[in-house]
Amino acid sequence: MADIAAANREALDRLCRARPAWTAVRSGREALGLEGRTLLHAGPPIEWARMCWPMRGAVKAAALFEGWARTADEAEALAASGDIAFAPCHSRGAVGPMAGVISPGTPLLVVEDAVNRTTASSFIADGPWGHQLRFGAHGPETLNGLRWIRDAVAPALSAVLEREGPIDLAALMAQAFTMGDEMHMRNAAATGLLARRLAAPLVAAVPDAARLEPIMRLVTRDNDQFFLAWSMCAAKAAARSIEGLEASTVVCTMARNGVEFGIRVAGLGEPWFTAPASVVEGVYFPGSAAGDANLDTGDSAIMETYGLGGLAMASSPAVQKIVGAKSWEDALATTRDMGEICVGRNPLFPIAVLGGEGTPTGIDIRRVVKTSIVPKITTAIAHRAAPRMIGAGIATAPMAPFVAALRAFAERYGAARA
């Protein structure tokens, strides 16, 4: 019988020793080998016909951005015709928030973990607030934004990295963690730390003030969640270290496409185990309500896969307000619950109010099934038929994928409930 305990110790060790660093900016073509009419999307595999509204909008944005279509209608017809190949971001070592659509020409962050020798990518940004591709926006503001990110922002960040060398995301995230970021729905501290790293070198990289000012604004000012792309890449780089780890029952992928929630398990390789995506229990912006909400979506649950986000809620008083946790005690209880379903703790992220013990890390499908405790995910909420964020909340993962994965594990390795 497989030595599950040893495999899971190894999984925990890999997750904890990961030291992701931001090393480059590259296109989807260069970084991921995307070719032809290929688009990556968030969550488990899904075809055009079943995609939710935000993902369809993002697909249209990407097709327009790539020049595969001249109008949104043309883009829609193209997608419906089957002439676009769709694949999960996770199938290529990438991650995308919300709809999470990445095309060959999308400029991507490249994050590398030299310890585990993994890489991961996500897009830098995706249009101005209120017009982000990730929420399905595909109008002129979005397209102009995407082109500006490609033509101005990406080269500037690339030049900064050439001057500065790799930026140690593990150290930055460890510091941000002590500043109350759980790095899924709260990246305010990490965004500030990154802004402080980038601001002065950006001046040197982009000496023209008129070009520099909007870039500086994007990097420093527009968005407390700016760092999310970096935190997702870092978490994905860490999680990739356990993909395919023989005999391990630890979850290596947890993601949603707005229709389905899916997981992959280290010891089970490529297959996804899915169930309908959850309704997010949310706090809505004024003018929006639960009836407007899309189901849970995005690859950002990679944060929970890495032990952050909902798993670290006790460490983030601010996120508790953002996502509507009932109280600090409630957040503490959530982190304690998450400890019940994880194989260990990551000392890189010590939770002061729990005596400095690390955040719960490495979700074990056996423990989930045994305890009936499922992961809690702090998340943004997309409108189900309009291109915008309408709130934030807590998604409770469905139980079925964990049960199905455990059955598959038992079939492959023999009884695994021990």
Would you tell me which residues interact with a second copy (CB under 8 A)?
Answer: 175, 178-180, 188-189, 191-193, 195-197, 199-200, 203-204, 207-209, 212-213, 216-217, 219-221, 317-318, 320, 328, 352-353, 355-356
Closest CA to 295 of 46, 32, 19: 46
Q: What number of other Cβ atoms are within 10 A of residue 287's Cβ?
A: 7
In the complex, minimum distance from the CB of residue 188 to a second copy, in angstroms, rounded to a whole number: 7
The β-bridge partners of 351 are 357
- Rounded CA separation 387/301 (Å): 21
- Rounded CA separation 338/362 (Å): 10
> Could you report how far apart the first and last alpha carbons of the chain are, in Å?
11
Please say whether the beta carbons of 359 and 343 come within 8 A.
Answer: no
Contacts of 131 (CB under 8 A, 6+ apart): 137, 139, 141, 142, 145, 387
Rounded to the nearest 10°, the torsion over CA 260, 271, 304, 321 is 0
In the complex, minimum distance from the CB of residue 198 to a second copy, in angstroms, rounded to a whole number: 8
In the complex, minimum distance from the CB of residue 354 to a second copy, in angstroms, rounded to a whole number: 9
The pair of three-digit structure tokens given for residue 386, joined into one six-digit string: 């309009």
Nearer to a second copy, 143 or 179 (CB): 179
Nearer to a second copy, 328 or 385 (CB): 328
Nearer to a second copy, 118 or 335 (CB): 335
Residue 390 identity (one-letter amino acid): I
Q: Look at residue 158 and give its three-state secondary structure.
A: helix
Nearer to a second copy, 201 or 271 (CB): 201
Q: What phi, psi does 194 have (nearest 5°)? A: -65, -45
247: left (phi over 0), alpha (psi -120 to 50) or beta: left
Closest CA to 24 of 159, 211, 206, 215: 159
Cα torsion angle, 90, 94, 97, 103, sign: negative
Q: Look at residue 394 and give its three-state secondary structure.
A: strand
In the complex, minimum distance from the CB of residue 223 to a second copy, in angstroms, rounded to a whole number: 10
Nearer to a second copy, 221 or 336 (CB): 221
Closest CA to 389 of 301, 243, 286, 305: 286
In the complex, minimum distance from the CB of residue 132 to a second copy, in angstroms, rounded to a whole number: 19
Nearer to a second copy, 5 or 199 (CB): 199
Contacts of 195 (CB under 8 A, 6+ apart): 219, 220, 226
The pair of three-digit structure tokens given for residue 313, joined into one six-digit string: 């809620």
Nearer to a second copy, 13 or 222 (CB): 222
In the complex, minimum distance from the CB of residue 203 to a second copy, in angstroms, rounded to a whole number: 4
In the complex, minimum distance from the CB of residue 207 to a second copy, in angstroms, rounded to a whole number: 4
Residue 191 identity (one-letter amino acid): T
Nearer to a second copy, 187 or 248 (CB): 187
Nearer to a second copy, 161 or 363 (CB): 161
Q: How many residues does the chain have?
A: 418
Please say whether the beta carbons of 332 and 339 come within 8 A.
Answer: no
In the complex, minimum distance from the CB of residue 212 to a second copy, in angstroms, rounded to a whole number: 5
In the complex, minimum distance from the CB of residue 149 to a second copy, in angstroms, rounded to a whole number: 16
Nearer to a second copy, 212 or 386 (CB): 212
In the complex, minimum distance from the CB of residue 200 to a second copy, in angstroms, rounded to a whole number: 4
